[in-house]
Structure 1
Amino acid sequence: MQTQITEMFGLRVYTDKAVFIGNVDDVVLDVDQKKIASLAIGELNPEIGEVKGYAGLQIPFRIVKSIGDIVIVRHIPGIFKSPAKEA
């Protein structure tokens, strides 16, 4: 997986279970290790869980599965709740 950091800004972020999380606002770098530490996500989907009072979320880069037209991250059930299904 190779891409320019600036190309990630604004990309929509989804889990591999098709749950929309938000958009990439920034990239957090680990300068000592010379790698990306996490993605800062803004415009959070209010349906993924309790995000009240938070302007964003940091997703560790180690759970990123793919970057292209969108970013796909590994789905973690305790963190990224699936939207409520209509009855």
Structure 2
Amino acid sequence: MNVDSQEITALVGREVYSNNGVFVGEVEDVRLDLGAEQVTGLALADLNTELFQGNIERGKGVMIPYRWVRAVGDVVLINDIIERLKGPEEAEEPLA
């Protein structure tokens, strides 16, 4: 099997941000397709409560498809699609 287990375990604990710099969560686990020998998803925990409020129960996690990942380094960058969970009325907060 040529899936590098060190690279996979190195993902666990990394913070995940959108392309726009919004904190999404932290990698808790990875989903693997053993037949294809590839990572297919990232299980995130310690989620950004503002981002997921009303969509995910507090204390729960989410699974992000690995195809959303754009870069892996000190942090994991994903497409900004996750920010679309906010409705248009919540996208911009008025200044006080």
Instruction: Supply the distance in 2 between the matched residues of 1:58 and 1:32 (Cα, whole angstroms).
Output: 20
Q: Give the structure with the larger strand fraction.
A: 1
Q: Give the structure with the larger helix fraction.
A: 2
Q: How many residues align?
A: 85
Structural RMSD (CA): 2.3
Q: Which residue of 2 aligns with 1:56?
A: 61
Is residue 13 of structure 2 the alignment partner of residue 10 of structure 1? yes
Task: Report which of the two structures shows the higher radius of gyration computed on alpha carbons.
Answer: 2
Structure 1 consecutive aligned stretches of length 4 or more whose deviation exceeds 6 Å: none
- When normalised by structure 2's length, the TM-score is 0.76
Q: How many percent identity over aligned positions?
A: 33
- When normalised by structure 1's length, the TM-score is 0.84
1:86 Cα deviation after fit: 6.1
Instruction: Supply the distance in 2 between the matched residues of 1:62 and 1:19 (Cα, whole angstroms).
Output: 18
Q: Which residue of 2 aligns with 1:47?
A: 50
